[in-house]
Chains A and B, each alone.
Chain A
Amino acid sequence: MIERSHHDMGGLPAGKVERSEHDYAEWERRVDALMVLLSGVFDGKKLLTVDELRKNIEALGPEAYDRMSYYERWVTSITQTMLQRGVITTEELARKMREVEERGR
């Protein structure tokens, strides 16, 4: 239902807590670092706010939210925020993603 956002889950029925933990991959640590840097934690230079990041994660929609991993949600959200703020454009992102893919072949 639209009046309750999918991320706002306190009190909803759910299953047993899975206690297994995974070692963070380096790409995940880099996403985390990017979030810390861009939100100005260290030198106060804010290029985005955690509030925009959270809003963009909340906007993913229930299926994407549930299927994506934590850092998949974060990297998507940081990218969306950079697009919204005009730091990067969709065209730039498209060209770069093709370039990186080509590099890998």
Chain B
Amino acid sequence: MSELGRYQPLSYFQLMEISLRELLVEKGVVSETQIEATVEDMRARGPERGARVVAHAWTDAAYKRRLLENGTAACEELGLDVPALRLVVVENTAEAHNVIVCTLCSCYPRMLLGLPPDWYKSRNYRSRVVREPRAVLAEFGTVIPESVRIRVHDSTADMRYMVLPMRPAGTEGWDEQRLAELVTRDSMIGVALPKAP
């Protein structure tokens, strides 16, 4: 996209970004190196990190208990750095399905999973999933049967949330790496189930 900058005029907001950044660098508030390092740091954070946590919980019952008790500590136990993250992990069971939203803005466990998808931040998701979760999940192709209750979590303050999906049937004896490949970002938000084996 920086290539395009040479051929297209800057938008007002791109102009603002450059100007703000250069001013802050000139004033010694931040450095270009810090900004670049932070961009790369955030780029490296993605759903595969959450998938590792899920796969480990699927294979280690004691770890799963610790994960549900203190999500942040459990991530750090696996060597995943999650600065400033206060993670609450909610477990899908045969009785209950969980889905995460931030109706007020777009709070998301970024330091674990990376940047959220556009739809998570959209008006339509934020407005509707808290009120008609089954209908919204059905739009994602996820049908939650009437026999299963739904818990919607609205991330309004200092905690951030991740869903621990149910381990798919037919994965007995799988190693963690293979299990992690079934765990999608959307299954950790709760709008989808993990992939089938």
Is A27 within 8 A of B17, CB to CB? yes
A82 within 8 A of B: yes
Is A16 within 8 A of B124, CB to CB? yes
B73 within 8 A of A: no
A8–B127 CA distance with the chains assembled, in angstroms: 9
Is B23 within 8 A of A92, CB to CB? yes
Could you say which interface size class chain B belongs to? 35 or more
A8–B43 CA distance with the chains assembled, in angstroms: 29
Chain B residue nearest in CB terms to A83: B20
Min CB gap A17→B, angstroms: 5
B104 within 8 A of A: yes
Min CB gap B33→A, angstroms: 11
Number of contacting residues on A, CB 8 A? 54
B169 within 8 A of A: no
Is B42 within 8 A of A29, CB to CB? yes
Secondary structure at the B interface, as helix, strand, loop or mixed, is helix
A18's contact among B83, B105, B124, by CB below 8 Å, is which?
A: B124
Is A34 within 8 A of B21, CB to CB? yes
Residue from A13, A20, A54, A97 whose CB has the most chain B CB atoms within 10 Å = A97
Chain B residue nearest in CB terms to A66: B123
Is B140 within 8 A of A19, CB to CB? yes
A33–B24 CA distance with the chains assembled, in angstroms: 13
Chain A contacts to B: CB under 8 angstroms: 7-22, 24-27, 29-34, 36-38, 41-42, 47, 54, 57, 66, 68, 70-72, 75-76, 78-79, 82, 87-88, 92-93, 96-97, 99-101, 104
Chain B contacts to A: CB under 8 angstroms: 1-2, 9-10, 13-24, 27, 29-30, 34-35, 38-39, 42-43, 83-84, 101, 103-106, 111, 115, 117-119, 121-128, 130-131, 136, 139-140, 154
Q: Closest 5 CB pairs between A and B?
A: A10-B103, A33-B38, A14-B127, A25-B1, A96-B19
